């Protein structure tokens, strides 16, 4: 579908307060589709029409979570500029920064950190973005998180550190880097 296939010339009728459930559900599906594909123009039109920034899908993923997870820098930037909460967790307790770390996306990680995401922010399980970068061997993201103040000694609810995750997942590069941080001084 080209950008000309969908007209978005004014406020969406689904946002006028009198919309039926089917129209609201279709609007939500459309919004999530635009976020997943990074269609900033259409997303911006929906936001201008009153689409709530805190809208979540059936898994609790926010618009910001999906934009950042799918690597759409411009959509992520737009949502952050409009006031999306970078600490809003999904149903699995993951933040957008944790999703970016999992994917190894340096640009999104940088953007989220620059716009207020907490470097050691976590959900109820205590897993931090550093732990996600470590377990999936995303060395460049791990280095950025460390430079921004991530605590490599922080433990999750099960008392595991980023190094524990790297080792258990066979992530050799991040395990070696984290191990070098805890080497005893002579």
Same fold, 13-118 and 120-186: yes
The domain locations on the chain are 13-118, 120-186
Residue-level pLDDT at 68: 96
Q: What are 91-127's pLDDT values in tens digits? A: 999 999 999 999 999 999 999 999 999 999 998 999 9
The CATH superfamily holding the domain 13-118 is Ankyrin repeat-containing domain (1.25.40.20)
**Stated pTM of the model:** 0.84
Where b means 16+ CB within 10 Å and e means fewer, 115-126 reads eebbbbbbbeeb
Residue-level pLDDT at 5: 34
Residue-level pLDDT at 183: 58
Q: What are 152-161's pLDDT values in tens digits? A: 999 999 999 9
Residues belonging to the chain: 186
Mean pLDDT of 51-71: 95
Mean pLDDT of 45-51: 93
Residue 15 above 60 pLDDT?
no
Q: How far is CA 183 from CA 34, 60, 110, 177, 180, in A?
A: 47, 40, 28, 10, 5
Q: Which two structure tokens, joined as six digits, stand for 18?
A: 């009198």
Residue 186 above 50 pLDDT?
no
Q: Which two structure tokens, joined as six digits, stand for 101?
A: 């770390």
- In CATH terms, 120-186 corresponds, of 3.40.50.10490, 2.30.30.100, 1.25.40.20, 1.20.1540.10, to 1.25.40.20
DSSP string, the chain: --TTSS---S--GGGSS---HHHHHHHHHHHHHHHHHT-HHHHHHHHHTT--TT-B-TT--BHHHHHHHTT-HHHHHHHHHTT--TT---TTS--HHHHHHHHT-HHHHHHHHHTT--TT---TT---HHHHHHHTT-HHHHHHHHHTT--TT---TTS--HHHHHHHHT-HHHHHHHHHHTPPP-
């Amino acid at each position: 579908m080209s950008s000309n296939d969908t007209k978005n010339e004014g406020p969406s009728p689904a946002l006028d307060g009198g919309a039926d459930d089917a129209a609201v559900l279709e609007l939500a599906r459309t919004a999530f589709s635009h976020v997943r594909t990074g269609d900033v123009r259409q997303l911006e039109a929906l936001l201008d029409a009153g689409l709530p920034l805190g809208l979540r899908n059936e898994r609790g993923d926010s618009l910001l979570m999906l934009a950042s997870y799918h690597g759409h820098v411009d959509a992520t930037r737009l949502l952050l500029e409009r006031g999306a909460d970078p600490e809003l967790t999904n149903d699995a307790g993951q933040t957008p920064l944790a999703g970016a770390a999992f994917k190894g996306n340096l640009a999104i990680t940088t953007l989220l950190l620059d716009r207020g995401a907490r470097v050691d922010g976590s959900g109820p399980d205590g897993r931090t973005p550093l732990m996600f970068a470590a377990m999936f061997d995303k060395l460049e993201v791990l280095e950025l998180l460390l430079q921004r103040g991530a605590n490599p000694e922080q433990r999750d609810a099960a008392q595991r550190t980023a190094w524990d995750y790297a080792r258990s997942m066979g992530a050799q590069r991040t395990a070696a880097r984290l191990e070098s941080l805890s080497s005893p001084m002579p």
